[in-house]
Amino acid sequence: MKFKLENTGETLDGTLVKSLGNNEFVIKIGNNERNLKIIDMGHDKIEFVLDNSFHSAKYLENSTSKITIVVDGVKLTFNKRPDLDKIVYKNSGMESAADSQISLKSQIPGRVVSINVSQGDNVKKGDIVCVLESMKMQVSIKSHKDGVVKSLKLKQGASVAKNDVLAEIE
């Protein structure tokens, strides 16, 4: 099986070679064969000894194509199907420049303190669209592009979650 490490872009090959019984296995990563012994396992975690060193791993996300795993406190994201991923990426339009992206999303959770533009306004990249408050800090959300405010999904005083669409700018 091929694994693409999103953190660095490197691709590694891994296979389960054989089971030795008693929860011991031989696996192969790259060209190296290694011994692995399971200590404990649950639906989203595993504790094991790999060549005499103890490790613990926990899955934060485990879908058919993507794995987010915390290994000994370090978070890694793998793509199990790097080939497939590329195709999806292309077709979803994600590859096109950020400029053509319409929605302005909130990168933080917070409360809307002020709305600085109106529907139909012309805005320039970097203009303040609204101000959010979270954890006693006021953060201004700036337009990601030049354009016209097509719609505003904001209400003064309302709360927004991370990744909520705040406005559409075309």
Partner 1 sequence: MIEKILIANRGEIAIRVIKTCNALGIKSVAVYSDEDVNSKHVKMASESYHIGPPSPAQSYLNMEKIAETALSCGADAIHPGYGFLSENADFADLCEKKKLNFIGPSGKSMRLCGDKMLCKAAMIKAKVPTVPGSPGIVEEVEKALDIANEIGYPVMLKSVFGGGGRGIRLVHDDKELRQAFELASGESKAAFGKSALFVEKFLPKIRHIEFQLARDKHGNAVHIFERECSIQRRHQKLIEMSPSPVVDQKVRDEIGQLAVNAAIAVDYLNAGTAEFLRLDDGTFYFIEINARLQVEHPVTEFVSGLDLVKLQIDIANGKEMPFKQKDLKVNGCAIECRINAEDTFLDFAPSTGRIYDVNIPSGPGVRVDTYLYPGCTVSPYYDSLMGKLITWGQNFEEARQRMQTSLSDFYIEGVETAIPLYRTILDSKEFISGDLSTDFLDRFKILDRLRDDLKKEASQKSEVAIAATLIHSEFLKNRIRSHKEHSPHWKTQLGRN
Residue numbers at the binding site for partner 1 (CB under 8 A): 1, 3, 5, 7-8, 10, 12, 14-16, 19, 21-23, 25, 27, 29-30, 34, 36, 38, 41, 43, 46, 48, 50, 55, 57-60, 67, 69-76, 78, 107-111, 113-114, 128, 131, 133-140, 159
User: First and final CA of the chain: distance in angstroms?
Assistant: 42
Phi, psi of 75, rounded to the nearest 5 degrees: -90, 130
Closest distance to partner 1 from the beta carbon of 125 (Å): 15
Q: Which is nearer to partner 1, 96 or 107 (CB)?
A: 107
Closest distance to partner 1 from the beta carbon of 94 (Å): 19
Closest distance to partner 1 from the beta carbon of 152 (Å): 19
Is residue 24 within 8 Å of 34, Cβ to Cβ?
Answer: no
Tokens of 42: 């649950």
Q: Say how far apart CA 60 and CA 75 lie, in whole Å.
A: 9
Closest distance to partner 1 from the beta carbon of 138 (Å): 5
**CB-based contacts of 54: which residues, under 8 Å, 6+ apart?**
39, 47, 48
In the sheet that holds 122-123, the strands lie side by side as: 103-105, 165-169, 147-152, 122-123
Q: Which is nearer to partner 1, 73 or 93 (CB)?
A: 73
Q: Which is nearer to partner 1, 78 or 147 (CB)?
A: 78
Total number of residues shown for the chain: 170
Q: Say how far apart CA 75 and CA 66 lie, in whole Å.
A: 13
Q: Which is nearer to partner 1, 109 or 151 (CB)?
A: 109
Q: Which is nearer to partner 1, 72 or 83 (CB)?
A: 72
